[in-house]
A = this chain, B = another copy of it.
Amino acid sequence: MIELKQILIVRTDLKMGKGKVAAQCCHASIEAYETTKKKNPEYTELWKEQGMPKVVLKVKDEIELMQIYEKLKKYNPVLIKDAGKTQVEPNTITCLGVGPAPSKYLDKITKNLKLL
């Protein structure tokens, strides 16, 4: 069986609080889910059967986030920009979401990132 997961990757340099991080990850999670549902509906179905596993990882800044984003391109990652009403400047890229996609491919790209 193919193991699938969704990965959310968050910038730590923005010093966002718990609630802010959670809200940004929820944006990323729904957008990545909807994108995958359009492009690989078989992944979203199988992922639901597997209990929708999700992992939240961290990067130190926007540069590191964009490097990972480029490497993840073929799995249709989504970047989340914040409207900037609270805590961060308008249009700051706060995090990315990718998948569900096969764990074995995503893990190869994200293996050096730590859990948030």
Residues of A within 8 A of B (CB): 6, 8, 10, 17-23, 25-30, 33, 51-52, 54-58, 83, 115-116
Contacts and interface: CB of A to CB of B under 8 A. Distances in A.
A54 B26 contact: yes
What is the total number of copies of this protein in its complex?
2
A23 to B, nearest CB: 5
Nearest to A55: B23
A52 B27 contact: yes
Q: Kindly name the residue among A18, A30, A83 whose own CB sees the greatest number of chain B CB atoms within 10 A.
A: A18
Given A22-B22, A26-B56, A29-B29, 17 more contacts: A8-B26, A17-B116, A18-B21, A18-B116, A19-B58, A21-B22, A22-B56, A22-B116, A23-B25, A23-B56, A25-B25, A25-B26, A26-B26, A26-B28, A26-B29, A26-B54, A27-B54
Contacts of A25: 22-23, 25-26
Contacts of A27: 52, 54
Q: Kindly name the residue among A19, A115, A116 whose own CB sees the greatest number of chain B CB atoms within 10 A.
A: A19
Contacts of A23: 8, 25, 54-56
